[in-house]
Chains A and B, each alone.
Chain A
Amino acid sequence: NAGVMQNPRHLVRRRGQEARLRCSPMKGHSHVYWYRQLPEEGLKFMVYLQKENIIDESGMPKERFSAEFPKEGPSILRIQQVVRGDSAAYFCASSPTGETEAFFGQGTRLTVV
């Protein structure tokens, strides 16, 4: 059973471009969580999704950031018009239900140049 898969592992974008980060949860997991870790800082919760629904987006920046978890396919974290401050590691975690422990992927490191 493969773990949580995130791709790409490293992503470089120029200021103003769009970044799309993908997260494939573990098999049988329908709950996905996204976190951001800025350089030299701790992990910050961003959003919690269940298939086709956003359950909790209290940690999402109000502009430029969006997330989805369609019925088929991976969860996508989308950042529009990236700025240098968006450079960070973005981690995804998945769990089979909202009441069991979540497992983290290896992250996507976004660098905005």
Chain B
Amino acid sequence: DAKTTQPPSMDCAEGRAANLPCNHSTISGNEYVYWYRQIHSQGPQYIIHGLKNNETNEMASLIITEDRKSSTLILPHATLRDTAVYYCIVRVAPTNAGKSTFGDGTTLTVKP
């Protein structure tokens, strides 16, 4: 699986959009970008994933650059409950869907 690079921490004001970047310059053509988050002391939660097109669901949007070397997770209206560690993972899908390599992630702090 390709390696990813994320900033260690970010702050965001409540109600504003949170934009979390991820670099994955060595991504292969058959690898997907996945995002998870881990709220303090809880199990990781799947957020969204994509291959090359932008994706949106009820939780977030995923913007992948045309060359696929980086992506951005967007939480459109961050709330205090979105404070968590966010992990960007690159993985060949769909096989071994539960086996992921988690890095250090980005600690997002949403402030009132």
Contact = CB atoms under 8 A, between A and B. Distances in A.
Interface stretch (B15-23, B53-61, B89-97): B89-97
B97 A102 contact: yes
Contacts of A31: 98
B94 A99 contact: yes
Question: Among B38, B87, B98, which residue has the most Cβ atoms of chain A within 10 A?
Answer: B98
A35 to B, nearest CB: 8
Given A105-B43, A106-B42, A107-B42, A95 B98 contact: yes
Interface in B60-106: 87, 93-105
A28 to B, nearest CB: 15
16 contacts: A4-B43, A35-B102, A43-B44, A43-B100, A43-B102, A48-B96, A56-B96, A89-B41, A91-B44, A93-B44, A95-B98, A101-B49, A101-B97, A102-B97, A105-B43, A107-B42
Given A98-B95, A100-B94, A107-B41, 18 more contacts: A42-B87, A42-B105, A44-B102, A45-B101, A48-B99, A93-B43, A95-B98, A97-B97, A98-B96, A99-B94, A101-B46, A101-B49, A101-B97, A102-B97, A102-B98, A103-B46, A105-B43, A106-B43
